[in-house]
Structure 1
Amino acid sequence: MLKNESSERNYERKYEPDERYQELGTSARVWHVYNDEADKYDTDLVEGMSGSLDVLLIFAALFAGIITAFLSQTAQKLDVDTGGVTIALLNEIIALQRATTQNGVDVSSIPRASSTSTPSTLILWVNGLWFTSLNLSIASALLSVLAKQWFHQYSAFKPGSARERAFTRQFRFDGLEKWHVPLIVGLLPSILHASLGLFLLGLFIYLVDLRPSMAISVGILSISLGIVYLITILIPLVDVQCAYRTPLTDILSNILRYYCNQSVRVRHIYRLFEQLQDSLPGPSE
């Protein structure tokens, strides 16, 4: 295997030597070498990104289906509860009938049943959290599909000579880096993480109204998962060798480094200002 790899990288045998003064010509060896190395790099890049996007799409689809199943039960409570209104009206009718059969009972003292019903605050919170979670899940799936199309365009066929193919590839790669496509793809799982967090929060609120005893166990498990998630993100900020590094960790690291540099600069300026004050002559001088 190593012998085959070394033979593939022996470009002096693979490609004929360039003629004199044609070392940068349209079909020079350097362009073929660049294209071969770039193809290997791009293949690994596109396959790795596409693999992660495929997993993300599957998870987003399954998770959206789970949220939809829960919403199908709770979204009905946002509408007018016709059953509850009917029961309230029947109770009012029965109370009026009893009042008419009894002497000394004032009919006007019987409270009137409301013909409208409003959902409780907990139900509003639950549906709001779950609808937001569903939107985030769909957004991550949409962005994943768009990212796969971006990489498809990036790896599309490049016509022309060896030099033109090299220039086209470098132009596409520079655009990929300029518009932070790898960073966007790396942050897509964070959208699903936020969606999952909102879903668990909504599930906890829903169980508080339904079964408080079950809400305690779900709440403890959700908080434990949240703590573990935060630890895996924050540990690489302390230990550079930690393997729990993600694009979100890199962003937090850059932000932390920026503010640390700013604080060092402020302290340095303050120290220079103090030295300048000490060097100035006093009033008596």
Structure 2
Amino acid sequence: LFSAVVAPFLLASIPMLQPDLQRATLNALLQISAQLPVNQTSAGISVTYPPEDAWLTSRWPLVINMLWSLALVIGLVTAVFAMLVKRWLLAFQQKRDNTLPDDVDGFREQSVGLRKWGVNLIVGLLPLCLHFAIAVFLIGLIPFTWHVSKALGVLVSTLVSVGVFLYGLAALLGHMVVSCPYTAP
């Protein structure tokens, strides 16, 4: 689901990386016209170039696309690993169900194998990876919305800030208060 949200944003922002062909054509025509004499006796006309869009000549479009591409890749890789972990655990469960009741050693060996190969660690890292991908996406969303509209940028920045504050509060409360059910990686 997260990747389905990020992909359209990435597709919409990719054209920001392309050069503005209309502006390049206009600049070339203005340069040519500046070099042509108005008539045989005059030196020529003074040409003023339209101001460049500071946003498009900055690195922000590239940074935003890099952040969103990173978020998309992390989200997709996390989804693939989630499917793999599910498969591993289902295979473990099938082996456990097929183990004879008196084959305690076989069950213990399978359980040790899960721990030895870090399946618990991988399961614990999956939500962390997804949280990181969402954070990277939101970091890119802030300058993108500021470029579109200052009011939209303020709104998105405020909402992201409130979300980060609540996330941090939940993480802290979960570690500081024993009875608090909130936890965050």
TM superposition score category, shorter chain reference: 0.7 to 0.9
**Matched residue, 1:78:** 17
Q: CA RMSD in A?
A: 2.7
TM-score between the two structures when normalised by the length of structure 2: 0.82
Question: Do the aligned partners of residues 102 and 216 (structure 1) sit closer, same or farther apart at CA in structure 2, a change above 3 Å counting?
Answer: farther
Runs of 4+ in 1 over 6 A off after TM superposition: none
Number of aligned residues: 179
Structure 1 CA distance for aligned equivalents of residues 152 and 169 of structure 2: 26
Gaps spanning 5+ residues in structure 1: where?
1-61, 113-117, 249-285
Structure 1 CA distance for aligned equivalents of residues 82 and 6 of structure 2: 19
- Map Cα deviations across residues 138-196 of structure 1 (whole Å, 9 max, x no partner): 111111011012112211246565333x2221111122233342342133122111111
Q: Which amino acid aligns with 1:215?
A: G
Higher Rg:
1
Question: Do the aligned partners of residues 221 and 175 (structure 1) sit closer, same or farther apart at CA in structure 2, a change above 3 Å counting?
Answer: same
- C-alpha contact (below 8 Å) 1:122/1:209 kept by paired residues: no
Give the 5 Å matches for 1:27-42.
Answer: none
Same amino acid, percent of matched pairs: 26
TM-score between the two structures when normalised by the length of structure 1: 0.56
- C-alpha contact (below 8 Å) 1:129/1:199 kept by paired residues: yes
Give the 5 Å matches for 1:120-269.
Answer: 120-157=58-95, 161-164=100-103, 166-246=104-184, 248=185
Structure 2 CA distance for aligned equivalents of residues 196 and 101 of structure 1: 62
Structure 1 CA distance for aligned equivalents of residues 73 and 3 of structure 2: 9
- C-alpha contact (below 8 Å) 1:154/1:172 kept by paired residues: yes
- Map Cα deviations across residues 109-128 of structure 1 (whole Å, 9 max, x no partner): 7689xxxxx85211111111
**Matched residue, 2:53:** none
Gaps spanning 5+ residues in structure 2: where?
50-55
- C-alpha contact (below 8 Å) 1:67/1:199 kept by paired residues: yes
Give the 5 Å matches for 1:100-119.
Answer: 100-101=38-39, 104-106=42-44, 119=57
Deviation at 1:225, TM superposition (A): 0.1
Deviation at 1:91, TM superposition (A): 2.8
- C-alpha contact (below 8 Å) 2:85/2:123 kept by paired residues: yes
- C-alpha contact (below 8 Å) 1:126/1:202 kept by paired residues: yes
